[in-house]
Amino acid sequence: MISIAVMAIVVFLIYNSLQLMAIEDHYGDLQDVYYKTETGDLIIGNGKRAGFIKKLENRIYVDDNGCLKELYNWVNQEQQPVKFSIYRPEITESFINQPTFGEPNNLIQKQKLKPIISSN
């Protein structure tokens, strides 16, 4: 009975270690984004683009004008890294549709978006 419990604990630890290594391998420097963001967070890149974070099946996607792009591809668009900031709206329904860049800026100035991560 004890050996079954020990075996279950060992399998659990191995599984979690492999999952953590997979996240580190896939996201590299962006793994903070994986752990700190939630679905519905707002990401703003290079002061020009804005999108919503969506977490699906251990992956992070950015909803950019209705097109889901993997976070790594969105951040490294055209082989040039994008400086980005991620904010958490107090009310997730702050944006009904894809925001224009001016809308998040207004909410940031009014301090209605809580900053989560910045690559600047």
Q: What is the pLDDT of residues 71-111, one digit of tens each?
A: 888 888 767 777 888 888 776 555 555 566 566 666 666 66
Quote the pLDDT of residue 14: 94
For the chain, give every domain's residue range: 29-118
The stretches of the chain forming alpha helices (DSSP H) are 2-27, 31-36, 71-75, 102-109
Cβ atoms of 12 and 22 within 8 Å: the answer is no
C-alpha to C-alpha distances, 28 to 5, 62, 102, nearest whole angstrom: 34, 17, 31
Q: Do the Cβ atoms of 45 and 75 come closer than 8 Å?
A: yes
